[in-house]
Amino acid sequence: MEDDEEAQLSAASPLREPLLRRSAPNNTSQVAIVGAKLCPIESLDYEIIENDFFKPEWDWRSQGKFEMFQYISMKWTLCFLVGLFAGLVGFFNNLAVENIAGYKFVITSNMMLARSFGRAFGVFAVSNFALTLFSSLITDFISPTAAGSGIPEVKAYLNGVDAPGIFSFRTLLVKIIGNIAAVSSSLYVGKAGPMVHTGACIAALLGQGGSKKYGLTWRWLRFFKNDKDRRDLVTCGSASGISAAFRSPVGGVLFALEEMASWWRSALLWRTFFTTAVVAIVLRALIDVCKSGKCGLFGKGGLIMFDVTSEDSAYHISDVPVVLILGVIGGILGSFYNFVLDKVLRLYNLINEKGRAHKIILACSISIFTSCLLFGLPWFASCRPCPPDASEACPTIGRSGNYKKYQCPPGHYNDLASLFFNTNDDAIKNLFSKNTDDEFHHFSILLFFITSYFLGILSYGIVAPVGLFVPVIVAGASYGRYVGILLGSHTSLNHGLFAVLGSASLLGGSMRMTVSLCVILLELTNNLLLLPLIMLVLLLSKTVADTFNGNIYDIIMKRKGFPYLEAHEEPYMRQLTVSDVVRGPLQFFNGIEKVCDIVHVLQTTGHNGFPVIDEAVSDAPVLFGLVLRSHLIVLLRKKAFLHTPVATGIRAFRHFSADDFAKRGSGKSQRIEDIEISEEEMEMFMDLHPFANTSPYTVVETMSLAKALKLFRETGLRHLLVVPKTSCRSPVVGILTRHDFMPEHILGLHPSLKKSKWKRLRFRVPEFLKLFKAFQISSGGVLV
């Protein structure tokens, strides 16, 4: 059942269609693409319920100091466990990827040394194909919600959108195993985004208040059977995921603050910081173990142990123009990256909706295409002699290193193979490394940039747990290197520093984050001297890219159909009042209602909140409160019926406990169709007074929609009642829910606003290309 269509409409306007859904629009519930199918979605309940039953019974924090101590202790304990498990999973992911991919490259390299090039390609392509096929199969058959990076889903959840199945135990397992297989298959995908989803899954499972299925029913676990505490814990989990992926504890906190969380406060900052600190300690302890050689091929690779230290990163004021050029071009490339990825995802959706076979074939086709490029393109690069002062063995035999021998004669190396024939982590390390200005030819770097840029786009939409962070870093690093080669004679910056700044510019242009990306890159490179340059590049690239489109995760959320509430209101919302978007007729209940009427309303509507109105207490009807669908179902299931329509008062509490009304975790919610009620019971009554929220948030019907949105989002509401301006009417005009604030819904009701002058300044890529083409024609086809 959907919640955010609950604008209490019987004839709602057509909703936006996620991606390229071409069937008739759903007018009764809002749906989104979750995993591989359309699913109804609900909002989360953050509002504190105040009534005769819940206030003394549910508000256990008012019962005494011991309960408060238990609650605070459990919060910090769960944060510790989230950090511990996220650190272990992050280490395990890197350990598995480095060893699986490492042995694949070692075997292939040995065949190359034996001049068995055909067999080497066969082993390389088949192993990549098998890993991709395995990842796609387990994702599609076990947990389709694990596909993609998971960041859009987690971000929507932290905004108040409860998409089904995104935090289940099956999703967690598939996310871990599927991502290991996908990254090991040499696809241009990353593990940072899936680690964010993994950390959020761990947090959600730990914080769901126990489980009757597995016998976890301890009394103190009930403290967390509410959406508000789960939201805070999931925020800590998302921060721990980034921290585990990049070994960046401070960057993880800032990432959760800047990109993920919609609600933030100082207490949450402390717990998030504690969680990421636990991750950093766990990773450091495990890395020290691996340095003794007990982790197979793992020990030097992987971003979690990535230190590119340069004590002499000198730069001057004369280098600033070059940095500005990097930022501007990075912003343009980042916005174009988002534009192309959006089109590719639309195309992939047309393929995926044809069935499982098409999704698997698409993923395997991308794998074969990638293997052919990675193995074949290095043959176009010329062999280069090994530098006499090389800091490592040249040529490199085996998995990693800057000097891959590939098909070259002794004493020479293939610079393009050093980038293609490596894991993405090792390719980044090679590009970021200092004192390597002469190791890569400009043609090799350009070819690598073009390939990695478009392979990252093509690889993201397949049915597998894959991320965007690392592919963007790889493409940005190669772009920065290429600019460094072109402008090397005009600046004192080394090419490794250009690679770092190039990654920052493309990340800023695509993901539109500044503070968190800046700190993540500083913690990755272990070089605080780069702070001013990285800040400048990120600010400039984000500013330039914002003129074209939104950040990549917002684009994906929109395509999936998640009703995400932005922090800012659209300008045209200031011209509308809440009464302009509320429609009737309104579904409500009397304080004492007949059972058959309640059952009928629950069966025939998808609404999740209903006003409770008393008509006999005064001359005019009075708004008593708001009752939730989930609470009504509990009352029906417990048979809280009356033979006569009289108020029960405190007697209504005898058959209930706080656990009866607690929010369930990842299990299935109760449905009205599962409750059996006899014909005799249908004629009985229910007293809703003790269970209705007597203090729901209300706004007057003349309030501007922009002002109501600010209240709705910042308070974290699910329902906002609209009351009339005058007292001679019904006490409730309607209910505002998340759906009513969606631009698509508003513009559907008021099409004239589409041509309103109140629009944000933003250039569209197609329009920009048309202007560019017109300029080229007017100048005779020659750009001057």
Of 155-164, 380-389, 402-411, highest mean pLDDT: 155-164
Q: Kindly report the number of other CB atoms within 10 A of residue 43's CB atom.
A: 26
Q: Where are the alpha helices (DSSP H) in 488-568?
A: 495-511, 515-525, 531-546, 552-560
298 or 730, which is more confident? Answer: 730
Residues 386 and 170: their CA atoms lie apart, in Å, by: 49
Residue with tokens 């600190």: 277
Q: What is the average pLDDT across 666-687?
A: 81
Going by their DSSP bridges, the two strands 161-162 and 42-43 should be labelled as antiparallel
- pLDDT of 58 above 50: no
Q: Are 437 and 310 spatial neighbours (Cβ–Cβ below 8 Å)?
A: no
Decide: helix, strand or coil at residue 592: strand
Please tell me what DSSP assigns to residue 386. Answer: P
| Type of residue numbered 707 | K
| pLDDT over 70 percentage in the chain | 83
Among the ranges given (21-25, 74-78, 771-775), the one the predictor scored with the smallest mean pLDDT: 21-25
Structural domain boundaries of the chain?
A: 65-292, 317-385+415-560, 570-580+701-783, 583-695
Q: Is there a shared CATH topology between the 65-292 domain and the 317-385+415-560 domain? A: yes
For residue 214, CA distances in Å to 195, 210, 662, 679 come to: 26, 8, 18, 36
Q: Kindly report the number of other CB atoms within 10 A of residue 661's CB atom.
A: 19
Q: Mean of the per-residue pLDDT values for the chain?
A: 83
- pLDDT of 157 above 80: yes
Give the closest residue to 694 by CA, choosing from 584, 591, 586. Answer: 591
Decide: helix, strand or coil at residue 20: coil
| Type of residue numbered 453 | Y
**pLDDT for res 653:** 62
Q: Kindly report the number of other CB atoms within 10 A of residue 614's CB atom.
A: 17
- pLDDT of 492 above 80: no
Decide: helix, strand or coil at residue 623: strand
Structure tokens at 191: 């593990």
**pLDDT for res 544:** 95
Identify the band that residue 23 occupies on the pLDDT scale cut at 50, 70 and 90: very low
| pLDDT over 90 percentage in the chain | 43
Q: Kindly report the number of other CB atoms within 10 A of residue 226's CB atom.
A: 19
| DSSP for 494-506, written as a single string | -HHHHHHHHHHHH
Of 13-17, 239-243, 764-768, 772-776, highest mean pLDDT: 239-243
Please tell me what DSSP assigns to residue 258. Answer: I
- Dump pLDDT digits (tens) for 732-772: 989 999 989 988 888 888 888 877 655 555 555 555 455 44
Identify the band that residue 704 occupies on the pLDDT scale cut at 50, 70 and 90: very high
Q: What is the average pLDDT across 676-695?
A: 88
Q: Is 765 exposed, middle or buried (0-12, 13-18, 19+ CB in 10 A)?
A: middle
Bridge partners for 40 per DSSP: 31
Q: What is the average pLDDT across 356-379?
A: 94
Q: Is 733 exposed, middle or buried (0-12, 13-18, 19+ CB in 10 A)?
A: buried
Residue with tokens 């100048």: 779
Direct distance between the N- and C-terminal alpha carbons of the chain, in angstroms, rounded to an integer: 59
| Type of residue numbered 511 | M
- pLDDT of 29 above 80: no
**pLDDT for res 175:** 96
The CATH code belonging to domain 317-385+415-560 is 1.10.3080.10
2 or 652, which is more confident? Answer: 652
- Dump pLDDT digits (tens) for 304-319: 444 454 455 566 777 7
Give the closest residue to 565 by CA, choosing from 761, 743, 765. Answer: 743
Q: What is the average pLDDT across 537-555?
A: 93
Structure tokens at 399: 């998995």
Q: Which residues fall within 8 angstroms of residue 44, CB to CB, at 6 or more apart?
A: 157, 160, 161, 162, 227, 231, 716, 718
Residues 552 and 622: their CA atoms lie apart, in Å, by: 47
Residues 46 and 583: their CA atoms lie apart, in Å, by: 25
Whether domain 65-292 has CATH 1.10.3080.10? yes
Q: Which residues fall within 8 angstroms of residue 394, CB to CB, at 6 or more apart?
A: 386, 387, 403, 413
- φ and ψ of 184, to 5 deg: -70, -15
**pLDDT for res 19:** 41
Among the ranges given (110-119, 415-424, 508-517, 645-654), the one the predictor scored with the smallest mean pLDDT: 645-654
**pLDDT for res 394:** 82
pTM confidence score: 0.88
Residues 143 and 138: their CA atoms lie apart, in Å, by: 7
Please tell me what DSSP assigns to residue 257. Answer: I
Hey, what CATH topology would domain 583-695 get?
CBS-domain (3.10.580)
**pLDDT for res 504:** 95
- φ and ψ of 198, to 5 deg: -60, -45
Residues 253 and 276: their CA atoms lie apart, in Å, by: 7
Identify the band that residue 17 occupies on the pLDDT scale cut at 50, 70 and 90: very low
Give the closest residue to 174 by CA, choosing from 219, 203, 140, 199. Answer: 140
Decide: helix, strand or coil at residue 12: coil
Decide: helix, strand or coil at residue 398: coil
| Type of residue numbered 643 | H
